[in-house]
Amino acid sequence: MKKYTTILCTLILAAVFMAGCKKNSTDPTPVYTVPTTYNFANANFADATTRLGMATEVGNLTKLATSGAIDGPRIKNMLTNTNAPFATAAYNTSGIQMLDQFAPAFKTDIISFIDSLVKVAATGATASRGVAGVGASSASPTSKYALTGLGVNYAQVINKGFMGGFITYQEVTIMSNIATYDNTTVVNGSTAQEHAWDMAFGYWGVPIDFPANKTGAKFWGSYTTQVDSGYKANKILMGAFLKGRAAISAKDSKTVTEQAAIILDAFNKLNAAGALQEVQETRAAISDNIARNSRMSEMYGFVYGIKYNPKRSISDTQYNALLALFPANLYDLTLNQLNTLRDAIAAPYGFDAVKDIL
C-alpha cells in the first residue's frame, strides 16, 4: 500500500509540475516549427516591395532639391502611379499605387510637404535663417540640404512621413485586424491571412534572413537597426513575424494574436525610438547649423508621424504638447529645448533609461 501511495504522490507531483510548465492546459498547442528566416514556401509580399521601391523613387527625386528645381507634378504622380512616373518600368505597369495605402491624414499632408519642398528647391538661394534655399553642412560641405526659412528639410519630413503615414499605418491596420482575415481558402497559393501577414513583413523592408543579412534594408528596416543600441526592435520584430507566420499556417490563432500584439507594440514605439535616435544625430551635428536643422527635421518627421498610427498609445493632448516643444524656427533651437524634447518623447514610451543611447 505504502508503495502505491508513493507512486501516486510521484504522479501527482509530476502532474503539478508539468501543469506549471504549460501555458494553457485546455487548448493543446499545435506542434510546428518556426523557421529562422522568412522563407515560407507560399510567402508573397511582392506588392509591398514594389511600393517601398516606389517610395524610394520619390525619395530619389526629393533629393534633387539640393541641386535646383524639382518636378512636383511627377512626384505627385508617383503617389498614384499616374502617367508612368517611375524610372523602374515594372512599377509603372504594376497596376498598384501607394496613395490608396496611406493613412487618411497623410494623403493630404504629403501633398503640402511636396509643395513646400518644390518651393524651396525653386528659390536658388542659400539657406539661412528666414531664407529658404540650399545650405551646406559646415563640417562636411559636400553634404547639402534644402531648407525652408524656418529650417525645415521637407525631403526628410516626406521620408519619415512614408514611414509613419504609409508603412506604420499598414502594419497597424493589418495587425489589428489579423483575426478577421480568412485562413481557410487558398488563393494564389496562400490564405488571405497568410498574405496579409506577408505584406506586413514586406512593408518592414528587410531581407528574409534579417538581421544576419541587412542588405537592402530600407525605411523602417534601416531604422530598426539604427535604434537597436537602445531598443532591440530587430530581434523583437523578426521573432514575431516568423512565429506569427508559422502559427497562421499551423492554424494556431492564439499565437498569431500574441505575435500581432508584439508587432503593434513595436511599431507604436518605433516613431519615438526613431525620434530619439535623431536627438542623438542632432547632438552629433550640434554646432553645424544646416546639418543640425536637417536632423531636427528628421526628428520632427518622426514625431509628427505619430498621429498617423490609429493605435498610438499617446493621447491627442500629449501629441500636441510634443509638437509644441519644437521651436517655431529650427534655427532658434537651444540645448534646453532639445533636452526637453528628448525627455518628453522618451517618457511615454518607456525609453527613459535608453534615451541617450538610441
Partner 1 sequence: MRKFIYLAVIAASALILIQSCSKSSGGGTTPTNTGTTFDRKGMLTNISTNIIIPAYTAYQANTTTLDAAVTAFNANPSLTTLTAVQAAFKAAYLQWQSTSTFEFGPAAQIELRVNTNTYPADINQINSNITTSTYNSGLLANLAAKGFPALDYLLFGTGADNNAILVQYTTGANAAYRKTYLAALSAELKTNATTVLSAWTSAYKTTFVNADGTDVSSSVGYLTNQLVFDYEILKNYEIGIPAGVQSMGTTFPQKVQGFYSGISLQLLNQHLAALKNIYTGASGLGFDDYLISANAKYSGGSLNDGIIAQFAAASAKLQNLTDPLSANIQSNNTAVVAAYTELQKLTVLLKTDMTSSLGILITYGDNDGD
In the complex, minimum distance from the CB of residue 98 to partner 1, in angstroms, rounded to a whole number: 20
Say if CB 92 and CB 101 are below 8 A apart. no
Site membership for partner 1, residue 168 (CB under 8 A): no
Say if CB 43 and CB 190 are below 8 A apart. yes
Helix (H, G, I), strand (E, B) or coil at 191: strand
Site stretch for partner 1 (CB under 8 A), options 35-43, 114-122, 300-308, 330-338? 330-338
Site stretch for partner 1 (CB under 8 A), options 4-12, 94-102, 117-125, 238-246? 4-12
Site membership for partner 1, residue 136 (CB under 8 A): no
Residue among 74, 107, 119, 283 that touches partner 1 (CB under 8 A) = 283
Q: Which is nearer to partner 1, 175 or 276 (CB)?
A: 276
In the complex, minimum distance from the CB of residue 16 to partner 1, in angstroms, rounded to a whole number: 9
Cis amide linkage into residue 104, ω under 30° from 0: no
Region of 207 (left: φ > 0; alpha: ψ -120 to 50; beta: rest) is beta
Site stretch for partner 1 (CB under 8 A), options 9-17, 78-86, 119-127, 267-275? 9-17
Cα 47 to Cα 145: distance, rounded to the nearest angstrom = 32
| CA angle 247–252–254, rounded 5-degree value | 105
DSSP line for 132-171: -EEEE-SSSTT-EEEE-TT---HHHHHHHHIIIIIIIHHH
Count of residues near partner 1 by CB under 8 A: 37
Residue among 138, 173, 257, 318 that touches partner 1 (CB under 8 A) = 138
Helix (H, G, I), strand (E, B) or coil at 126: strand
Q: Which spans of this chain sit near partner 1 (rule: CB under 8 A)? A: 2-3, 6-7, 9-10, 13-14, 17-18, 20-21, 129, 138, 140, 156, 159, 222, 226, 229, 281, 283-284, 286-287, 289, 292, 295, 298, 331-336, 338, 357
